[in-house]
Amino acid sequence: MGKIVAVANLKGGTGKTTVAVNVAGALARRHDVVLVDADPQQAATAWTRGADNRVRARRHVMESGGEGGDGASDAGCRRWIEAVRGAAHSADYVVVDLPPRLSAVVAAAFALAEVVIVPVTPGGAEMRATRRTTAMIARARAARDGSRPDCILVPNRVDRRTAVGRALDSHLRELGEAVGPVLRQRAVHMSSFDAGAWVGAHAPDSEAMGEIEALVKYLRNRPDQQPAPPEASGAPASELSSSL
């Protein structure tokens, strides 16, 4: 059974799709990977349309659920869970890009995932939503064996020239979850969407790619809650909750 990696934050625009597409792309160099696009906006599907992607997103939106599965029936919820479990039977990793809302599909993903990556951009509203997201992960953990899903908070769009950028990782550490390598504000993430390619295909020697590699390395060698690593060097790449 492959590992299910959910990418979530209850706040919109924090980089969930960017992280999901690029983590899936990087993992796919060595593993069989399925990227599940669970967001009705279908950004991951649009992003992976180009020919250079080994991973093309599969659309698995929770049926009859409206935005994010809020109104999904129990049967719709069960079908979504079976589709993701089915994907995990045939792959080493399933990466799930989630919508930015408290919804049945997010709860279902937390019930299945081995790890949840939570990208967070600087800002007060983002911190509040991230706190709600980690609280939801903690509830999902309590409803399971108490240790899964792991959580990796990922500071994203960080600009060290700004005070909020410099303060982000120390604020995240207060949440009591692992804090992964930092992803800086990099224009190449925007141009890779326009190119329909993950960053490793679009800009393989970029600093953005180096940061994605550092994140994937952290994910794969995830220590059992050891202290967070130093910030990524940015060097070019060389190489259901209780309610369900």
Residues 203-242 binding ligand ATP (CB under 6 A) are none
C-alpha closest to that of 230 among 155, 157, 165 = 155
Closer to ligand ATP by CB, 91 or 183: give it: 183
In SS3 terms, the chain reads as CCEEEEECCCCCCCCHHHHHHHHHHHHCCCCCEEEEECCCCCHHHHHCCCCCCCCCCEECCCCCCCHHHCCCCHHHHHHHHHHHHHHHHCCCEEEEECCCCCCHHHHHHHHHCCEEEEEECCCHHHHHHHHHHHHHHHHHHHHCCCCCCEEEEEECCECCCCHHHHHHHHHHHCCCCEECCCCECCHHHHHHHHHCCCHHHHCCCCHHHHHHHHHHHHHHCCCCCCCCCCCCCCCCCCCCCCCC
What, of ligand ATP, Mg ion, none, does residue 12 touch, CB below 5 to 8 Å by kind?
A: ligand ATP
Report, in Å, the least distance between residue 14 CB and ligand ATP.
4
Q: Does the footprint of ligand ATP cover residue 157 (CB under 6 A)?
A: yes
Residues 164-183 binding ligand ATP (CB under 6 A) are 183
Select from 13, 40, 234, 236 the one that contacts ligand ATP (CB under 6 A).
13
Find the part of the chain contacting ligand ATP (CB under 6 A) among 10-18, 163-171, 174-182, 226-234.
10-18
In the numeric block, the tokens 């959580």 are attached to 151
Select from 6, 8, 17, 127 the one that contacts ligand ATP (CB under 6 A).
17
Q: Does the footprint of ligand ATP cover residue 122 (CB under 6 A)?
A: no
Select from 37, 39, 114, 213 the one that contacts ligand ATP (CB under 6 A).
39
C-alpha closest to that of 58 among 19, 30, 20, 11 = 20
Report, in Å, the least distance between residue 46 CB and Mg ion.
10
Find the part of the chain contacting ligand ATP (CB under 6 A) among 35-43, 50-58, 159-167, 220-228.
35-43
Q: Does the footprint of ligand ATP cover residue 133 (CB under 6 A)?
A: no
Closer to Mg ion by CB, 12 or 223: give it: 12
Report, in Å, the least distance between residue 197 CB and ligand ATP.
13
Closer to ligand ATP by CB, 142 or 167: give it: 167
- Point out the residue whose Cβ comes nearest to Mg ion: 17
Report, in Å, the least distance between residue 172 CB and Mg ion.
20
CA torsion sign for 154, 185, 121, 68 is: negative
Q: Does the footprint of ligand ATP cover residue 43 (CB under 6 A)?
A: yes
Select from 18, 48, 53, 134 the one that contacts ligand ATP (CB under 6 A).
18
